[in-house]
Each structure stands twice: as C-alpha cells, then as structure tokens.
Structure 1
Amino acid sequence: MLPTKNTPDLIDTSELFMSTPLKISWLLASLTLAACGSDNTQTPNPSEDKTSAHAAVASESEVLAKPELGSFGIDLADQDTSIQPGDDFFRFANGHWLDTYELPADRSNYGSFNVLTDRSDERVRTIIDDLSSIEPAAGSLEKKISDYYLSYMDTETLNQRGIGPLQPTLSALAEIDTQEELSAAFGRAQIDNTATPFSFGVGADRSDPDQYQLGLRVGGFGLPDRDYYLEDTEKFLEIRAEYVTHIATVLEFANIENAQSKAEAILNLETQIAEHTWPRADRRKRDLTYIPMNYDDFVA
C-alpha cells in the first residue's frame, strides 16, 4: 500500500537524525573518552597517596574543560544574531554556518552526525589496518576481520569475477512474473539488505513502548528525495538526465539489453512513487505518520 497525499506512511523513521550543525560537545567528548579507554587502565589503590587520585581528577577535568566547539560546547560564531530567535530559532542558532559552510563535494548533506560517523570510520580503518600488518591466529576473530577486509580490497580478483557472483540474483529477478513472486522478492530483499519500493522495520510502538510493531514506509528512491523527481528547475532536470545515464551504464555493466529504455522506465517508476510520497516536512510529523492497524486492515 503506497502512501498518498492523504495517507502517510505507517511509520517513517528516516528523519529521526537530521544533519544540522548541532554543537553538542559532551557527545563528542564522550566518544573521545570511550575511545581512549583500554584494558590497561589501572584502578587506583586506596592505600596510595591521595595526590594520585587528585591528579586523575584534575586530568579528567582538564579534558572535559576543553570542549571541541566554542568555549563551552556551542559555537556561538555560527549564529545569525540579525534574526530574532522567536521568529526563526533555527536560523538564529545556525544561520552563519548555513551561509558560509562549504559542503564537501562528495556529500549531499553534512552535520555533526556525519562528523561522528567519519571519525568512527577512521578509527575502524585504523584497527583493520593494524590487523592487516600482522598475521592473526587462524580462526580468530581478528583473522576473520582481516581476511574479510583484504578480500574486499582485492580489486584484481573482483574485476576478474565481474558480475558472476550477482548472476543468480539477476536471473531470479528476471524470472519474476506474478505479484506473489514480486512480493516474495521484496521479502528476500529485506534479508539481503537490498532496496525495494518498501522498507520494513520492527520497533517499539510509539503509543505503547511495552509492545513492538512492524513499521512500513515507502522507499525505492535512487535520488535523495521526492523533489528531485517532481521539481522542474534547471538543476533538477539536469540531475535527472544524469541519473538516467548512470542507470543505463550500470545496466550495461550487467549485460542487460535495452539499457537506455529500461533506465528511463526506472526513472518513470520512481517518479510515480515520488508523486505518492509526502513532502519531507510532513514525514517528520510523528503524530501524522502514526497510523497503527492490524494485519487484516492492512491487507484490505
């Protein structure tokens, strides 16, 4: 059941974490302190001189006393003080940042959560690189991580195998001929972690946290949002044209015939989905997107 302009998603969790310049230093400090911890941390001996304990407290206080942003965890320089907070608090708090920040060329959005993600990725990369420089014991978790990463980075072998490993999946998709088979493919996609026009997830019921519910929302977009399909500005028209070219290129890599016409058909399908999808602002309204129903009502 696709949501229409009068029927929102059953549950939409895509906008819970927005990429805005949230200046919360305690979160960054907590992550830093957690990363600095190790099994070698010594527990103070109660019999030792209190000077050691005082030094430890002073050291921790010194770390916490140096927020990463601003003088107390919020960068006031990013404000736009020409805006009254009662008129537009978001612009008041972030206006200068929004006007002056240069978005990375490879990103469609950026904010504090992206910073945390990038930092975590860098730390994981360091851990993996350290494992790759040694020879972990056979069968160990370290060995599995190292082998998995090295196999991913073995581009020579990947290029030799080509799309061979994908062929069984592509063949199964090509053989879909009924609505039942299509529904089954959507279900398998949830297990395979591939995209479908619908996405599912189990979470706590918003109105009753003591029970769980299955949430359903619309997906299937290759472009970031519905506006990319529906707005006819010069920018979006250019993006859609390049998107079709990209899809056709991918289909050609998979040796799929009539790649260009099929790419155009894919864009047309995604556009129809976009036409039945609420604007982003409406999808953020938790009460509006909360429409619980039982299974019988849903399938009806």
Structure 2
Amino acid sequence: MKFSKLVPLGLTAAIAVSLASCGKTDTAPAATADATPAFDQSQIKTALISLNTADLDTAIAACTDLNGFVNSKWLKANPVPNDQTTWGSFEILRERSLEVQHALVQQAAASQAKAGTVEAKIGDIWKTGSDEAKIDAAGITPLQPQLDKIAALTDTAAITQYLRDSQAVGQGVLFSLFANADYKDSANVIAYVGQGGLGLPEKGYYFDDSQAKIRDAYVAYIAQVLTLSGVDAEQAKTQAKAVMEFETRLAKASMSRIEMRDPAKRYNPVSAADADKLTPNFSWTALFDTLKVPAAQKFSMAQPGFFGEVDKMLADVPAATWQAYLRFHTIDDASPYLSSAFEKANFDFYSTTLRGQKEMQPRWKRVLESVNGAIGEGLGQMYVDAVFPADSKVQMQHLVENLSVALKARLEKLEWMSEDTRKKALEKWASFTPKIGYPDKWRDWSGLETNGDSYLGNMQAARTFNYRFMLNKIGKPVDKTEWGMTPQTVNAYYNATKNEIVFPAAILQAPFFDAKADPALNYGGIGAVIGHEMMHGYDDSGSQFAANGNFDNWWTDSDRAAFTQRTDQLVAQFDGYESLPGVNVKGKLTLGENIGDLGGLTVAYDALQMALKEDPKANVAVDGHTQDQRFFMNWATVWRRNFNEGELRVRLNTDPHAPANFRANGAPSNMPAYAQAFECKAGDAMVRADDKRVVIW
C-alpha cells in the first residue's frame, strides 16, 4: 500500500532547493482561512550547496574531467550518510525542504484546527503516524480484515471479484489502472491499464545471473513477512517459493524498462468487450462496472501479452498460491504503517539489501513521506504560504522567456531539418505552457475522512480518496490547471499530452536559482533545467507528440531518420560509460534524459550569451573564472552526488537518468563552447572527436 512516487517525464532526479531568502508574502495563496504564523527560518539547519572556488580540485584539469574538477573534493569529504543511499546537491536541498515541511506539520498537529480542515487532516496523519507505541501494540490487527478476505478465496470467480474490489479502493496489486489524457485525443481523459505485480525493481531481476543473490534474499523476505503475519514458518517458506514462481511468470510476460519508453507500446486502445475476449477469465466490463467509470467503449490496454498471461494464471495457478501472493503483497505494501517488526523487515530488504542503506531514516521523515503521499497538495498550500517569495516567480518567468527565445532560434537554424517538419516544431514551441511555483487552483480535500485512531486506517482512507479522485477524471475533459507535483517537491517535469513544463516552488533556489547570483550561475542551473524540460518535447519520446498534445507523427521520414542517426550517437556515448566494474550505463534507457541534458544545456548557454549582450556589465569574471566557465561549473555543481553501490546498481537497471557524474560531463563534452571556455584541445577527454561529437538540436 505504499504510495507510488510520480515518475515525471522530465527531470526525475530529486532536485531540492534552499529557502534561505524566502519569506511570507501576500501574493502566495493562503493555506486556509485562518492566519498562518510566519515561518521561522532558523528552523532550517541544513547548509546550502553552491559553487565555491574552495571546492575546486585544481589537480584535475577541467579539460579532463569537469565533474572531478568541480566536485571531487566535496564528494570525498561528504560520503553518503547512513540513513541515505545517495548524497549531493539534490539530497541536501531536499533536506532543507523537509525541514520546512516538518515544522509545518508539527504546527498543524498542535493547532487544534477545526475538524475537516486541511490542517486537521494533516494533523491526524502526523499524530497517528508518530505514535509508535500504539502502532506496535496493534501489530497486524489493523490489516486483519483484508487478510481474512484473502484467506476466503477458493476459486477463480472469488479471486477475480477480489481483484475488482481491491482495485476499486486503490489497492491494485496485479496491474495498474489510472486516468490519463487519451494519446490520440489529448483533450479528454481515458482509462489506462498496465503491467505490474512484481516485487523486484525490474523484470531482469528475475532472470539475470548477476541478481541471483537478490532473488534468494527476496524469497527469504517473502517468507519472513508471511511468518510475521502468522503463517507457520515451514509453510511460509513453501509459499514464498510459490510466490517467486508466480512473479517470475509475470516478469516473463512483462516489457522491459527500455521497451516501455516507446509511447506506442504504452498505448493500445480497446473496448471492454474486445478486452474480455483476450482475458475470458477476467471481465473488464465487470471491472469498470465495479469502478463506476465510463471506460467500456475505450480504454488503453498496453502490454496485452502480459494480460493474456495473467488470464492463464487465473485458470491454472492454485488458489492457495494466489492467496499467498495476495497476502504477501498486501502486508508488504502496508508495512510502513504497521508495527516495527513489519517496517524493519521491509526496510532491511528494500533499502539495505537492494540499495545499501545502513540505517532507517528518523520516524519524522518517514511519517512526513506519508503525509506527502496522502495529502501532499494540502501541505503544499501551507508550504507556499510560508516560504515562497513572489519575486521568484516573476524572475523565473523572465528566464523561461529567455530560454524560449534561444530555443526558437535553434529550431529556425537547424540544417538537418526540412521546412515541413520545422514548421511543426515551431508550432510545438509556440504552444509550450510553463507552470511556475504552485497551482492557480488548489485541490479540494473535503470528503477525505481522517481520525486520531489508526495510522493505517488514515493512509487507507487517503489512498481510496485519492484513487477515486483520479478515477472520476475518466470520460471528462483534461483539467489543464492540475499539477502532477506538489509545490514542495524538489523536482521539475514535462508533460507531453499537455505540452507543459512545470517547476514547483521548491526548485527555485540555489544552486539552481539565486536572485543575487551572477547570470552564469542561474543559466547554468535553473536555465539548464528549463532548457532540459523544453527539450523533452523534442526527445525521442516527446517528439512523437504534436503541439496539441496528441500522439501524432509530425515528421517527414527523412527528418526522423536524421534525428535517429544523431540520437544513436548519444546512445553509443552513454553505452561507453562504465559506472561500476563491468557495468555500463544503458544508453537506450537514458536516451530521453541525455537528449534533454544536451539540448537544454546548449539552449541555456545561448540564452546566457543573449543576456550578457543585453547587460555587458554582467560579463565579468568572478573568483577568477569567466561567465562561460562559471556556467559550466555550476552545471557540474548541480550534479554533485555520491551513491551507495546498491543504489547505483538499481538505478543502472531502472532509472532513465544516467548517474550524476556522467550527466555532469556528458553534455559539455559535446559542446565546442565548453572547449573554448577552458581552452581545451583536441584529444582532451572533455573534447569529443568530430566524428563522435553529438549535435542534435
């Protein structure tokens, strides 16, 4: 029952931001009708990260390794803390955001807010989640009614009914079902269903020889969870093996992360009647009736082969195995909200065994994550009211405009693009919608019922409420005012069907954005992020969506071939990066983000040159480095990051972003402007040979 984290189409590495210069303003929407006390900035204890010449490692030449030159000293002095799996600019800035949120939820919990208000709901989740003694005393009891339902499943009809009923309250284990814009009619929302059901990070974990130890540990974890829930130890071991065999069948029928990057493989419109023919043991018509959503005429069933296999499993897998599978995943998903024995077992496998995290994070952070998952935008209202300055939004709008001008100039001059395709590319450019800071319309939380009794109960109520909110969009026009991230999220994203670029409030701080910084730092920081998100509209996936957000080919065949030839070079570049001994980056998996980095940094550099021409007085050296040098140096500062080996291994298999050190070096090594800025010569590691240099946008 863990709340799944949104995976944005754009920059998904955690991008946290400082709040040092923020203050309460009249222009930010108030969280509630009640006056909110001004936030005490002294509660932010984590220090900022910014470009500092004292951090530079002059023993490493910028022409050899930009990341090493800018970051190596800092990285050596700042290993990953025991309660983290990565540590760098993103994580430190996220810590600052969490410190603000922590103070706000404590304030809400202590406010004696009127029942039904956002503060009261946040306070209920916070207080019940913080009462560890009460949670431990309850043990498995809060989940027992669900486990009893699973224990009563004896045949296919009962199992399919259970799957429908659990899906209706947002507890779908076997597959995902969600609302999204219709790829072919992006103004309207349809239902999408997709593969799921796996406990390991990606299908390769079930087959690759290199993951054998992880598989063994996973089977042991399944047995441990079942034993903790009351299953006899020997039976639990037998059931755990059966669950692993069950998931392995699902994995064989699943698509890989690389395959799923193709929008065509995520969209397969069918009617419920046609889908019923594919899965005679599972009625989609009955499912949509249970969900009470108008999806019978058209929904997207991506990965029909996966659902065909699920249908076979409904017929030939014994009911006892289905019970074990559903029992395990029900407990596993609820573990963060159950007693410490379940929570620790969950942490030991997913965080320690898989990712190398040595210590559990303090309880306040774990509960705060639950608050964000349950009522994140409600907390976001409080966050914006407390710490987001109006002038940040104004200055950000100016930067977006400058990047937009620079991007247009690039599109107009592309030598390899025909006029027919260029016209469509410029139409898409003209239709970009930027969103900055926070939503213009806040979400209504009335209807979410919380209490002071049960942590799990509150989280289940929030999950059902949020899932129903999402289901209610099906069959209706897309609400373009909605955001896919909360204001306090340390991230940014691009949405292809809305053709929008979105920058939550929490990213608008150093090292990305600083109103007092010289132009190079802002353009090498948030400017490159803006450019990155814009370029997602033209990456290998986003470029398949037109200006109106529809999945529609607007390219000539020759232009698409020229584009692919260039992106194949970028695939080869990142395939060549060895991240761990014998383990290289997957260039196809990371292609979209690498296109975003290369195009975004290139456009941001162009915009910097425009800004310096407008204000020649700003084109001065700072701390002995030119504006061009500081631009690239701040880009590297953004990607300052250490990884645990376990975390890095998981990301190399699952993350569409390359490791941070390769992002720091990858794009600049393709840019003549970088070589010129640092007076690098042909043959230097940061100067790619002409036949290897990647030029796309």
TM-score band w.r.t. shorter chain: 0.5 to 0.7
Give TM-score scaled by structure 2 length: 0.30
Counterpart AA for 1:228: Y
State the match for 1:168 in structure 2.
145
- Distance in 2, matches of 1:265 and 1:18, equals 38
Question: Of the candidates 2, 5, 9, which is equivalent to residue 16 of structure 1?
Answer: 9
Q: 1:136 to 1:14 in 2, by over 3 A?
A: closer
State the match for 1:273 in structure 2.
250
> Is residue 178 of structure 2 the alignment partner of residue 201 of structure 1?
yes
- Distance in 1, matches of 2:257 and 2:269, equals 20
Q: 1:192 to 1:125 in 2, by over 3 A?
A: farther
- How many Å apart are 1:269 and its aligned residue? 1.0
Counterpart AA for 1:266: V
Contact 2:49 2:89 in 1 (8 A): no
- How many Å apart are 1:197 and its aligned residue? 1.5
Q: Render the CA deviation track for 1:240-264: whole Å, top value 9, x for unaligned.
A: 1111111111111110231111111
State the match for 1:139 in structure 2.
115
Q: Render the CA deviation track for 1:172-200: whole Å, top value 9, x for unaligned.
A: 01111233322232233334433411110
Counterpart AA for 2:226: L
Counterpart AA for 1:197: L
- How many Å apart are 1:112 and its aligned residue? 8.4
Report SS of the residue matched to 2:180: strand
Structure 1, unaligned stretches of length 5 or more? 1-12, 42-66, 72-79, 84-91
Report SS of the residue matched to 1:221: coil
- How many Å apart are 1:168 and its aligned residue? 0.8
- How many Å apart are 1:70 and its aligned residue? 5.7
Please list every run of at least 4 consecutive aligned residues from structure 1 whose deviation after the TM superposition is greater than 6 angstroms. Answer: 80-83, 100-117
State the match for 1:126 in structure 2.
103
- Distance in 2, matches of 1:122 and 1:112, equals 16
What are the residue-to-residue correspondences of 1:1-300 with 2, within 5 Å? 16=9, 19-20=12-13, 36-39=23-26, 120-132=97-109, 134-139=110-115, 141=117, 142-233=119-210, 236-257=211-232, 258-300=235-277
Contact 2:219 2:241 in 1 (8 A): yes
- Distance in 2, matches of 1:183 and 1:35, equals 52
Contact 1:195 1:219 in 2 (8 A): no
- How many Å apart are 1:122 and its aligned residue? 4.0
- Distance in 2, matches of 1:161 and 1:211, equals 45
Contact 2:203 2:256 in 1 (8 A): yes
- Distance in 2, matches of 1:176 and 1:111, equals 48
- Distance in 2, matches of 1:114 and 1:289, equals 31
Which has the larger displacement, 176-185 or 246-255?
176-185
Residues paired across the two proteins, number: 240
Q: Render the CA deviation track for 1:200-254: whole Å, top value 9, x for unaligned.
A: 0011101111222110111111111111111112xx1111111111111111111
- Distance in 1, matches of 2:27 and 2:184, equals 45
Which has the larger displacement, 106-115 or 265-274?
106-115
- How many Å apart are 1:285 and its aligned residue? 0.7
Contact 2:182 2:189 in 1 (8 A): yes
- How many Å apart are 1:121 and its aligned residue? 4.2
Q: 1:152 to 1:104 in 2, by over 3 A?
A: same
Contact 1:199 1:216 in 2 (8 A): yes
Which has the larger displacement, 262-271 or 13-22?
13-22
- Distance in 2, matches of 1:40 and 1:212, equals 32
- Distance in 1, matches of 2:156 and 2:115, equals 44
State the match for 1:10 in structure 2.
none
Contact 1:137 1:143 in 2 (8 A): yes
Q: 1:119 to 1:178 in 2, by over 3 A?
A: farther
Contact 1:19 1:114 in 2 (8 A): no
Identity of aligned residues (%): 25
Structure 2, unaligned stretches of length 5 or more? 1-5, 29-47, 53-61, 278-697
Counterpart AA for 1:16: L
- Distance in 1, matches of 2:263 and 2:81, equals 31
- How many Å apart are 1:130 and its aligned residue? 2.6
Counterpart AA for 2:258: A
Q: 1:259 to 1:146 in 2, by over 3 A?
A: same
- How many Å apart are 1:287 and its aligned residue? 2.1
Q: 1:14 to 1:173 in 2, by over 3 A?
A: farther
- Distance in 2, matches of 1:279 and 1:259, equals 30
Q: 1:239 to 1:19 in 2, by over 3 A?
A: farther
Which has the larger displacement, 145-154 or 159-168?
145-154
Contact 1:19 1:111 in 2 (8 A): no
Contact 1:200 1:216 in 2 (8 A): yes
Contact 1:20 1:112 in 2 (8 A): no
Report SS of the residue matched to 2:209: coil
Aligned CA RMSD, in angstroms, stands at 4.1
- Distance in 1, matches of 2:162 and 2:22, equals 41
Q: Render the CA deviation track for 1:71-122: whole Å, top value 9, x for unaligned.
A: 9xxxxxxxx9779xxxxxxxx999x99xx89777667789988777665544
- Distance in 2, matches of 1:186 and 1:119, equals 41
Contact 2:14 2:94 in 1 (8 A): no
Counterpart AA for 1:255: G
